[in-house]
Chains A and B, each alone.
Chain A
Amino acid sequence: MSAVTTISARIGLLLLVWWALTEGDSSGIGFGLVVTALATVISLRLFPPAKVRIRPFPFLLFMLFFIGRSVVAGIDVSRRLLSPSLPVNPGYLTFYLSLPEGGPRWLLANTLSLMPGTLSVSLDGERLDLHCLDTREPVEADVRLVEQKVAQVFGLSPNNHFRQEGSQQ
């Protein structure tokens, strides 16, 4: 994976977005090419190609995992809302992440907000504060599982990743 791969992937993605935005109308393709070029330049300025890259295939698997979990999340909250006793036990929990800074941590915090029972409140360095709908649920196991999945998306080896976690305690 070189810088060329990153740049062409970004150009391809932006062209796809332009194509979708214009609903396949080819009359504005001139503008589209100019805008794509400018957007690519800006994206390289703002987010220079990083050491950790998203891997396409694990990312696809992660998307499926995420969609499944967010459906469970919606049903879980609905179930609690519809039961007369309103079984919630909200509270804060704090976790120390072993993922590297930047994209991986950001992806974890944002996806956790849409997963069952968790809502990320603040991400401060490696410290992640979560608000949980029900602290009696095994939230810890959930968070570690998602963390592992995020690590796979960025092609980080789980071994290295868990050793790091031990040293941070």
Chain B
Amino acid sequence: MQLVQFLQVLLLAAGCVFFAIGTLGLFRFSETLTRIHALTKVDNLGLGFIVLALLLGVASLAVAMKVILIWVVALAASATSAHLIARAVRSQDRAGTRGSERND
């Protein structure tokens, strides 16, 4: 039991470190697209560690499945959002260089 808790604390700490680095990425990277790189990859790793830590302490198999389900949904959500924002940034950049009247 002690070992499990020790592992949990270790994984939670790792998750926190990666979330902190992800936030640091927002400050250190100056472009929107590189910021998305930081947010998607680093934060997802942080979430992965936290999910693993929680999986070690779940009450039942069904709860474990639910946590995994939430993790998969969050992963898919993150990948889709990253793609959509990147595409939006690019289409705005193009509109800007073409000198189109679209200014929103």
Contacts and interface: CB of A to CB of B under 8 A. Distances in A.
Interface residues of B, number: 37
Contacts, number: 105
B90 A113 contact: no
Chain A interface mostly helix, strand, loop or mixed?
helix
Contacts of A113: 40, 79, 82-83
Interface in B33-58: 33-34, 36-38, 40-42, 44-46, 48
A43 interface: no
Nearest to A123: B83
18 contacts: A19-B65, A22-B62, A23-B63, A24-B61, A24-B63, A73-B45, A74-B18, A77-B38, A78-B42, A81-B21, A81-B42, A86-B29, A113-B79, A113-B82, A114-B44, A114-B79, A119-B83, A121-B90
Interface of A: 16-17, 19-25, 67, 70-71, 73-78, 81-82, 86, 88, 90, 109-111, 113-114, 116-117, 119-122, 129, 131, 133
